[in-house]
A and B are shown apart, each in its own frame.
Chain A
Amino acid sequence: MTDTPATPARQSLRDWLQAPTASSPRQARAQAFWRGWQRLIANRAALAGLIVLVLLVAMAVIGPYLTPYSPLQQDLTARLQPPSAQHWLGTDDLGRDILTRILYGARITLMMALLVAAIAGPIGLAVGATAGYLGGWFDIVAMRLVDVFLSFPSLILALAFVAALGPGIENAVIAISLSAWPPIARLARAEALTVRKSDYIAAARLQGASSMRLILKHVMPICLPSVVVRVTLNMAGIILTAAGLGFLGLGAQPPSPEWGAMLASGRQFMLTSWWLAATPGAAIMLVSLAFNLLGDGLRDVLDPRND
């Protein structure tokens, strides 16, 4: 026979990921990730959401190379043109190509959503896990603060912050973050409460682990999946709030191609030129829907109660 025996070095990546026993920490982690990934893509809706979001990211990254137009260049001779071969999604009241503005707007929307998630997620997780684990006065103070934040509708709260801080994308991000962390903190606290009395926390205490270590390495990993799911599901709300602030003129400022602001300026031409408002509106809806679908799929994969 000329066949060479299969050697471990030559085995395929798939075999390595599906081997019944792992032989290194890296392989064990990769296998756990692989199983989660398989379950995620088995969920059609979640996969659809993921694909839309990957496309959105791709649009945000390479968008400028896909279009010959500038998002800010006005062309008053070609204003309010319906969708055509030159302008696939038409032009707005200042003659700017709407598709171009949508592509550039994806950048702004994505950046705002990710920034809010990056600010509100860790703050909510840290406050909630610490409050739930420690209890006592920290818990009382943190949760009353959360109650105060939760007693306002989030858009109204964000409006108030932006009104105080002044309009603009950065301030909108801060304002939305301030209204987005309390529900996450409450969720993380609820998860922390369920595990603080568990044997594995007690066992880790007997290993001499400090409270800091227990919260960071034992409590937070338990809270993390539900926080990730909640943040993903909240992304839709964050995008809507960001668009809402843009719509009201408190978020991104003209001529920035933010979707909410585009929607607002398209409103006055709604009856004569529907594409001005319809395209950013559809973009907002599509991305929000994608985040919701992905969030639902992630919940199925990450929630330990489904194990």
Chain B
Amino acid sequence: MSAPSLEIADLSIAFGHGRARVQAVDRASFSVAPGDAFGIIGESGSGKSTILRAVTGLLDDYEGGVLIDGQMAPRPRARAFFKTVQMVFQDPYGSLHPRRMIRATLMEPLEIYRLDRRDDRIAQVLVDVGLAPEYAYRYPHQLSGGQRQRVAVARALLLEPRILLLDEPTSALDVSVQAGVLNVLNALRRARGLTYVMVSHDLRVIAHMCSRIAVMTQGRIVEEMSVEDLRAQRAQEQYTRTLIAASRAAVTAE
């Protein structure tokens, strides 16, 4: 059996000191097989995005292990790490530099890693995420939210990572635009054999994208299940049932 693409072992993260100390993530563990899509679901503040930031090394102050292909990720993260793991942020309005042309934003990883055929790669990756190559010559304020998020996905793909971390990639977008971005992500995963870890508070999004799901609340992973179990309502934990019921009620209300 091959090593999991990404493994989190007993990950704990705390913010603050003394009385103000908050345990954001409490001994979380899970592993994701290569080519799999793993979802983490939970209400806001449950620590799911914090896990992703710890994996990327943006949050360096964690305890426990982050393993890539069975190897402990270096601390601080080395450049080679970012060729394997990339992340798409939640807010496409905040994750693109407002004063840089899209081309400059996309050119950056190519310059840092001294890759060749830069303009070709940028044109190709824009086509891959469903944008015309001319979008490279725009500034972020000339794009819609969905287009920006596609650019953010394109930026994450330029280094050809094997693992993509998705931090609520559609929660800042209109419902009509969400499906387009999710379909692009699904198609890319199939075409490139990518491994996804996706964080969301939207059960429908997770069910659409992922095959395995972890349920988080108050920093702990309370249950891990397959998407079939989720669909068949075979949840073991009371919290998971409440979450599913609340989600169904919200869908019915719509």
B121 at the interface (CB under 8 A from A): no
B159 at the interface (CB under 8 A from A): yes
B108 at the interface (CB under 8 A from A): yes
Cα-based distance from A1 to B103 in the complex (angstroms): 42
B87 at the interface (CB under 8 A from A): yes
Are A24 and B137 in contact, with the CB atoms below 8 A?
yes
List residues of chain A with CB within 8 A of the CB of B101. Answer: 25, 28-29
Cα-based distance from A199 to B58 in the complex (angstroms): 11
List residues of chain B with CB within 8 A of the CB of A29. Answer: 101
List residues of chain A with CB within 8 A of the CB of B103. Answer: 25, 28
Within 8 A of A (CB), among B117-142: 134, 136-139, 141
Are A208 and B113 in contact, with the CB atoms below 8 A?
yes
Cα-based distance from A199 to B156 in the complex (angstroms): 13
Expressed in whole angstroms, the minimum distance between the Cβ of A29 and any Cβ of chain B is: 7
Within 8 A of A (CB), among B150-164: 152, 155-156, 159
B82 at the interface (CB under 8 A from A): yes
Are A32 and B139 in contact, with the CB atoms below 8 A?
yes
List residues of chain B with CB within 8 A of the CB of A307. Answer: 98, 141
Are B137 and A28 in contact, with the CB atoms below 8 A?
yes
Instruction: Count A-B pairs with CB separation below 8 Å.
Output: 77
List residues of chain B with CB within 8 A of the CB of A222. Answer: 98-99
User: What count of chain A residues pass the 8 Å CB interface test?
Assistant: 27
Are A200 and B95 in contact, with the CB atoms below 8 A?
yes
Are B112 and A213 in contact, with the CB atoms below 8 A?
yes
A282 at the interface (CB under 8 A from B): no
B5 at the interface (CB under 8 A from A): no
Q: Which residues of B line the A interface, CB within 8 A?
A: 56, 58, 79, 82, 86-87, 89-91, 94-101, 103, 108-109, 112-113, 134, 136-139, 141, 152, 155-156, 159
Complex A-B, nearest 8 residue pairs according to Cβ-Cβ distance, in ascending order: A199-B95, A22-B137, A28-B137, A199-B94, A207-B109, A208-B79, A200-B97, A199-B89
A-B contacts, 30 listed (Cβ < 8 Å): A22-B134, A22-B137, A23-B134, A24-B137, A25-B101, A25-B136, A25-B137, A27-B137, A28-B138, A29-B101, A199-B90, A199-B94, A199-B95, A200-B95, A200-B96, A200-B98, A203-B89, A203-B155, A206-B56, A206-B82, A206-B156, A207-B112, A208-B109, A208-B112, A208-B113, A209-B108, A213-B112, A217-B100, A221-B100, A304-B99
